[in-house]
Amino acid sequence: MLELIPASAIIAIVVIALIVIFLAVGYVKAPPDMAFIISGIKKKSKIVIGKAAIRIPFFERLDKLNLRLIPIDVKTSNAVPTADYININVDATVNVKISNEPEKLRLAAENFLNKNTEYIAGVAREVLEGNVREIVGKMKLEEMVSDRQKFATLVKENAEPDLAAMGLDIISFNVQNFVDGNEVIENLGIDNIVKIKKAAAIARAESERDIKVAQAAADKESNDAAVAAQTEIAKKQNELAIKRSELQQEADTKKAIGNNLSLISSRGTKATSTAAKNNRNATVEEGEQNLTIQMKQLYENVLLKKSEFQAAQTAYQKAQGQKQNADIKYKAGLINQEEYLTEEMSYISQTASYKAADLAFTQAADTYGWAVMGITQ
């Protein structure tokens, strides 16, 4: 039966079978946390991470490097003197890993190929401990204790080139503890507690002062708002009263002319002759004109006194507000006695002016009212 199959077909089947076997034997697939290093034919080895590749059987070899984190506990083996000559021990936890950068990975392959993580951790620990000692010698104890992150950063930056030359990356560096045998760190803590208590007491005093100032400002703002509202109400009331007076001025003048006793008497004078009537009428007309002028003058005087009263009232209300504000500030200790007495004297002066203006306005209004009823001075 094989004789019926052409030789070319047999060759093709054999080639395909060899290719399949070749692929099955040489196919490799690297997980994301593992680097496969294929070497043998090419001068430069091939690195595979998280993908598949083909290795030529018998001619190329496959090696593996673990890319997982390697936790390391770094402790100084004996006390190290700081820049201020205080012996301390340092305890830190560090995470390193073989770098996945191609050049660093090749260096790691040269140094750690087929080595377990304990070996890699031991080599890295020696490098890190040496860098910890170096940085401790450059810093003062108080600086290290108060700023652990700075210390960790300096050690990390100092150690990175050394570990990079081996193909390793520092992922994290955390200082766990600083220990000294002379209780220097403990005394630093006590000193800091005293400073913190002092700062807290100062902050509290300043806060209480700020609260008093803010309360005084709030009271002033509230008082100013009340004064402004009262002033506006008084202003509107005065404007309404003046408007009503203006509308009634003409009617008041007519009432005054009708109620004036002298004009009533002149109108009642008997006149039989035309000349006498004309003389009476002229006398009445002249009296009405004079009274009209007098009523206008009295009305203008009322307006003047009212304007003076409004100005005095505004000044009084302002002084009243300033006096209340001064009372608050004086009680809070924000102004001295001399400043307080100045505000009090200003308030007393404005009060006297306000009362005088009020009396003058009342007298002017009464005089105008009597004139409307027919009684003039």
- State the CATH number of the domain containing residue 174: 3.30.479.30
Residue 190 forms part of a structural domain: no
Shared-domain flag, residues 165 and 74: yes
Domain boundary, last residue among 66, 88, 106? 66
Shared-domain flag, residues 146 and 57: no
Beta bridge partner(s), residue 72: 94
334-350 burial, b if ≥16 CB within 10 A, otherwise e? ebeeeebeebbebbeeb
Residue 221 forms part of a structural domain: yes
Domain boundary, last residue among 39, 66, 93? 66
Shared-domain flag, residues 74 and 57: no
Count Cβ atoms below 10 Å from residue 93 Cβ, excluding itself: 14
Cβ atoms 77, 134 nearer than 8 A? no
Shared-domain flag, residues 84 and 56: no
Shared-domain flag, residues 212 and 335: yes
pLDDT score at 17? 62
pLDDT score at 2? 45
Q: Record the pTM.
A: 0.45
Residue 187 forms part of a structural domain: no
Q: 35 phi and psi, to 5 degrees?
A: -105, 125
pLDDT score at 236? 74
Residue 191 forms part of a structural domain: no
In angstroms, the Cα distances linking 199 to 196, 208, 368 are 5, 14, 72
Cβ atoms 71, 38 nearer than 8 A? no
Residue 193 forms part of a structural domain: no
Shared-domain flag, residues 303 and 209: yes
Shared-domain flag, residues 225 and 356: yes
Shared-domain flag, residues 213 and 106: no
Domain that holds residue 160: 70-182
Shared-domain flag, residues 36 and 82: no
pLDDT score at 1? 46
Shared-domain flag, residues 235 and 361: yes
- With residues binned 3-state (H G I as helix, E B as strand, rest as coil), the percentages for the chain, rounded to 5, are 70, 15, 20
Residue 192 forms part of a structural domain: no
Residue 189 forms part of a structural domain: no
pLDDT score at 221? 79
Task: Write out the chain's pLDDT in tens, 377 residues.
Answer: 445 566 676 677 666 766 666 555 557 777 888 887 777 777 777 877 877 776 767 677 877 888 889 999 999 888 888 888 888 899 999 999 999 888 898 899 888 888 888 999 999 999 999 999 999 999 988 888 888 899 999 999 999 999 999 999 999 999 998 888 777 776 665 555 556 556 666 777 777 788 887 777 777 777 777 777 787 777 777 666 666 666 666 777 777 666 665 666 666 666 667 776 677 677 767 777 777 887 788 888 888 888 888 998 999 899 888 888 888 888 888 889 888 888 889 889 888 998 998 998 888 888 877 777 777 66
Residue 290 forms part of a structural domain: yes
Shared-domain flag, residues 261 and 334: yes
pLDDT score at 200? 64
Shared-domain flag, residues 74 and 60: no
> How far is residue 263's CA from residue 212's CA, in Å, rounded to a whole number?
70
Domain count, the chain: 3
pLDDT score at 361? 87
